Amino acid sequence: MTGMRKTFIDNLRYGVVISVIVYHIVYMFNSVGVIRNVDIQGIPGMDVILYILYPWFMAFLFLIAGISARYALEKRSIREFLKERTRKLLVPSVAVMFLLGWSMGIVNNYYYDMFPGNGDRIPGVVKYLIYCLCGTGPLWFCRELFLFSALLALLRKADKKDRMWKWGGRAGFPTVLLMGLIVWGSSQVFNTPVVEVYRNGIYFCMFLSGYAVFSHDRVQELLEKKRFPLLAAAVALGTVYVIRFWGMNYAATANLKGFLVNAYAWAACLALLGCGKAWFHEETAFTRYMRGHSFGFFILHIYLIVWIAWGVDRLFHPAPAWYYAAEAVLLPLCLPLLYGCLRRIPLVRRVMFGE
């Protein structure tokens, strides 16, 4: 058994959520052709943040989710686990799209004219549904995680003696490093052809790795001891990756299948877990606040980023640097306020945030 809730896992989780928010601010003005919600020219040099984050941050979030799933299943039956995941993941992933997603669709239509000259001929209900589909944002993560949780429940039923987890606990450092080859292999399969964000193979691999291997105290302690060489490897591989792929579409599936990008992603995930085990145990008023609110911030941030960008563009149409500045100032002020207001409405709190 792995024991009590681990503060460093919670701290890593909200830390990745912050990185997701930073990523989306810069992504909204990217200059490398990644599809975005607004047509606003950004600063090309800022894109380096996207190259640094994209290969690993969602993979790491699924790894953390796998660890957390193991801890949850130590205290819950499979039925209770699935019921909780339905409430916290599946319901919000649908509800938020229909409650807020339409607003992103309107912004998309403002910049790209989704109904080339025929918008007046389309019934309002149909336009609303199309707008909602445009407003998925980070909700795809919730849907993927719910699917993986359901698959894990089937594996748990089949593996009544918990062999997979016991085998995972035997992993030594060479085995953990070699798992990077499995991660690379998983990046080649089950990728959706059009909506490229659904990288089912690698994300499910990371989720299972978190569940079966990295939920073990012994493996976490092993990474803690090796954190400095792992961190050095991640920095070196990340530097080479950015130089090699600079100017390319970093989110294209074809690029994400490469050995270099997957080696960087794996090294970064291992380094973060090892550094987190060593340094991220502190519990403060801020960490407790983020632990309780990071999911709400994760759900809502993309809508505010789009609204702010659109508003600044329509009102001022400033130089590119001012868009980043506006997001950096207004988003930290408005996001807690919006979340605080919405969660005071009982039905909204339940369907949007699973509380």
Please tell me the predicted confidence (pLDDT) of residue 1.
Answer: 45
Q: What is the DSSP letter of 90?
A: I
State pLDDT tens for residues 300-332: 999 999 999 999 999 999 999 999 999 999 999
pLDDT average, residue stretch 181-201: 88
264: closest CA among 283, 238, 298, 244? 238
Name the pLDDT band for 118 (thresholds 50, 70, 90).
Answer: confident
SS3 category, 210: helix
pTM of the predicted structure, to 2 decimals: 0.94
Please tell me the predicted confidence (pLDDT) of residue 275.
Answer: 97
Rounded distance between C-alpha atoms, residue 216 and residue 273, angstroms = 12
Calculate the CA dihedral of residues 329, 335, 340, 343 and round it to 10 degrees: 170
User: Angle 78-85/139-158 helices, nearest 10 degrees?
Assistant: 170
Percent of the chain clearing pLDDT 90 (strictly above): 86
